[in-house]
Amino acid sequence: MIEKSRYFLEILYKGTSYHGWQIQKNAISVQEVVNKALKTYLREEVDTIGCGRTDTGVHANQFFVHFDSSDNKIQNLTAMQSLNALLPHDIAVKRIIPVHADAHARFDATIRSYEYHIHQEKDPFKYGYSWLLRDIPDIELMNEAALIMMKYRDFSCFSKAHTQTFTNNCIISEAEWKKTVNGLVFNISADRFLRNMVRAIVGTLLRIGYQEISMEDFGKIIESKNRSNAGASVPACGLYLTRVNYSYIK
């Protein structure tokens, strides 16, 4: 039996052309493209496991996958350059990291961070990478609500229905809106995220910012654990996975 070693692949990608990270039956995904590039370079079957699953159209400035290979030269510069040559322009490899045999890209992640980008003037260079929102919400109200949100653990109200998760509990460590030159950015970090969670949170916080609901209403929405009570999900184009932390990777 050929002995294999485990590696982490750090990648980044623009999600516009893909139906999320995870392999789909009838649609192209980032995972499918990465697996194909690895198989071509290594000349062996490769099954990657991602640090999570991004939805259709969502981008990633940092994303980790793990895979096993019998090629002990996979972590060198030539391998990285070769993989990048095999990958399309919207997916890139940043690092190939040898890790211990039990390392797991999904289960070992301690913190994940997302950003949601909003711009407020039409800009063709931001189309597909930020959400155009002309009405300016009250950022102070939204940040006040974000602090309230951090007191809770069960975020069922922000989760896509009928997901196969054993719990909807998450520990949010950061949630803040910041002004930019031409818009807003929402930063959020947690130990884990539910499907569609960040986009639903942003949509609900904007209702606070437009004074459509009160702080008391916001608390009741979370406590209801009912997705239909929260705000609409904002478009995927503005969402980025920006950071994934592991205790053994710097």
- Residues catalogued as catalytic: 55
Q: Which residues pair with 9 in a beta bridge?
A: 65, 96
Both structure tokens of 155: 């975020």
Buried/exposed 74-86: b ≥16 CB within 10 Å, e otherwise: bbeeebbebbeeb
- Distance in angstroms between the alpha carbons of the first and the last residue of the chain: 33
Instruction: Give how far the C-alpha of residue 123 lies from the chain's centroid of Cα atoms, to the nearest Å.
Output: 24
Task: With beta carbons less than 8 A apart as the criterion, state whether 113 and 174 touch.
Answer: yes
**Neighbouring C-alpha atoms within 13 Å toward the C-beta of 234:** 27
Compute the distance between CA of residue 17 and CA of residue 87 in angstroms, rounded to an integer. 14
Close Cβ partners of 127 (under 8 Å, ≥ 6 residues apart): 237
